[in-house]
Amino acid sequence: MADWLAGLHRRAELRAKAGLTRRLRPRAAGDAVVDLAGNDYLGLATHPEVTGAAAQALSAYGLGATGSRLVRGSTDAHHGLEAALADWLGTDAGLVFSSGYLANLGAVRALTQPRTLLVSDAHNHASLIDGCRISGAETVVTPHADPAAVARALAAAPGRPAVVVTESVFSVDGDLAPLAELHAVARRHGALLLVDDAHALGVLGPAGAGGVAAAGLAGAPDVVVTATLSKALGGAGGVVAGPAEFVRHLVETSRTFIFDTAPPPAVAAGVRAALRLARAGDGLRAELADRADRAVARLRAAGLAVSAPDAAVVSVTAPGPEAATAWAADCADKGVAVGCFRPPSTPDSRSRLRLTISVGVDRADFERALDVIVECAPGERVEVTS
């Protein structure tokens, strides 16, 4: 084996020893697996109105966008979706990116000048962390969900432009950031607040408008919202929403927007149809919240350490990475897909099963899946968190 490949092999062996091997498992269309691992919270990925809208756009526009947004890739479908997103989120404007990851990289970078201080929550998603890194700005990582620590970080940099960077619903434990407090602290220090609403859009807030709207911050002039269109909206792509002048700045300067082929118009059309359904989906949201509560109650009753979720992400602590992998594999053998999160995908050294609740799953299958998770749990129990 060539030296560089032998080096990679040694590193793979080290990961295997630490229980951190990762493997792709192909999924067949329409398989019978009960899905508590995907992010299709409202079950819209397969909704006939969504797939129908996408199919129509597919035959009208073809498979791809054929170019970047500033060249030939900016179709009516993209513009219609952006207007609908801004209207839903209560912002002046919105801009669609190819993914939530690229939206976050673009947003953080665009909010940063040479002297900017970024104040980033310790549990933030990798895309926000990478956004801070590529911005080149000084970044202070504050303890999780701690407005007082954010205030101290901002007070230590008087007179400097600053941005507080957080998720709304955190992707690993499903808890909600104290957005109103963070906004008050940011405003007091003249800082901006950037919120990644990935796991709250469609799930929380009035008409599902997300965590920022739920905190009463929709349209605030010092708040920028990002989100992926791949979770409750069941599609793909990302959005940055905020003041029109900021969106104009992104269009003219954001490298992850400019130097990237536009997302397929069929996806934009499908997501727009999903948005209409999500906006009118209070019944779906009530069922989702009921299922999240039910999952917590069932798993806690079995003595498992379960997070206190604020949306549809439920995290269950495993004794270690190997135990988490074995637990998830046993569930998979019994036809239940659950997320298996181990370092470095967790903000601490704890490994977890992550259940993402979806109303697209049949209710009886959902109940059976909870039984399977309990049956497959490792003998060793971890102390219950909160």
Ligand X SMILES: Cc1ncc(COP(=O)(O)O)c(C=O)c1O
The smaller minimum CB distance to ligand X, of residues 51 and 171, is found at 171
**Type of residue found at 120:** S
Closest CA to 295 of 314, 317, 280, 323: 314
- Site for ligand X (CB under 6 A): which residue of 121, 167, 173, 310? 167
In angstroms, give the least distance from the CB of 334 to ligand X: 26
CA 103 vs CA 59, 95, 197: distances in Å: 27, 9, 12
Which positions from 10 through 49 interact with ligand X, judged by CB under 6 A?
Answer: none
The interface mask with ligand X, positions 223-252, x = CB under 6 A, is -----x-x-------x--------------
For residue 158, the surrounding DSSP H or E stretch is none
The smaller minimum CB distance to ligand X, of residues 189 and 231, is found at 231
In angstroms, give the least distance from the CB of 371 to ligand X: 27
The smaller minimum CB distance to ligand X, of residues 217 and 323, is found at 217
**Tokens of residue 144, six digits:** 């999780």
The smaller minimum CB distance to ligand X, of residues 125 and 285, is found at 125
Closest CA to 161 of 177, 138, 182, 178: 138
The smaller minimum CB distance to ligand X, of residues 27 and 188, is found at 27
Cα four-point dihedral sign 210, 274, 272, 269: positive
**Tokens of residue 246, six digits:** 């900021």
The residue count for binding ligand X (CB under 6 A) is: 14
The smaller minimum CB distance to ligand X, of residues 230 and 351, is found at 230
The smaller minimum CB distance to ligand X, of residues 98 and 382, is found at 98
User: What sections of the chain are H helices per DSSP?
Assistant: 3-17, 48-61, 76-89, 100-110, 126-135, 147-155, 179-188, 211-214, 244-253, 255-258, 265-279, 282-301, 321-333, 363-375
Residue 171 interacts with ligand X (CB under 6 A): yes or no: yes
- Is residue 101 packed enough to be buried (19+ CB in 10 Å), middle (13-18) or exposed (0-12)? buried
The interface mask with ligand X, positions 314-353, x = CB under 6 A, is ----------------------------------------
The smaller minimum CB distance to ligand X, of residues 182 and 382, is found at 182
- Is residue 307 packed enough to be buried (19+ CB in 10 Å), middle (13-18) or exposed (0-12)? buried
Cα separation, 352 vs 341, in Å, equals 5
Closest CA to 75 of 96, 93, 106, 104: 96
In angstroms, give the least distance from the CB of 313 to ligand X: 9
- Site for ligand X (CB under 6 A): which residue of 196, 215, 296, 307? 196
Residue 256 interacts with ligand X (CB under 6 A): yes or no: no
Which positions from 66 through 125 interact with ligand X, judged by CB under 6 A?
Answer: 99-101, 104, 125
**Tokens of residue 146, six digits:** 């701690």
Which residue stretch of 62-70, 115-123, 195-203, 350-358 sits at the interface with ligand X (rule: CB under 6 A)?
195-203
Residue 209 interacts with ligand X (CB under 6 A): yes or no: no
β pairing state of 192-196 and 162-167? parallel
Q: Do 145 and 179 contact (CB within 8 A), yes or no? A: no
In angstroms, give the least distance from the CB of 60 to ligand X: 24
The interface mask with ligand X, positions 267-286, x = CB under 6 A, is --------------------
Residue 358 interacts with ligand X (CB under 6 A): yes or no: no
Cα separation, 325 vs 51, in Å, equals 34
In angstroms, give the least distance from the CB of 219 to ligand X: 21
- Site for ligand X (CB under 6 A): which residue of 91, 127, 142, 351? 127
Position with the least CB separation from ligand X: 100
Q: Is 34 helix (H, G, I), strand (E, B) or coil?
A: strand
Which residue stretch of 132-140, 191-199, 264-272, 278-286 sits at the interface with ligand X (rule: CB under 6 A)?
191-199
In angstroms, give the least distance from the CB of 207 to ligand X: 21
Q: Do 242 and 250 contact (CB within 8 A), yes or no? A: no
Residue 175 interacts with ligand X (CB under 6 A): yes or no: no
> For residue 213, how many C-alpha atoms fall within 13 Å in the half-sphere facing its CB?
23
The residues of the shown chain that bind ligand X, judged by CB under 6 A, are: 99-101, 104, 125, 127, 167, 171, 196, 198-199, 228, 230, 238
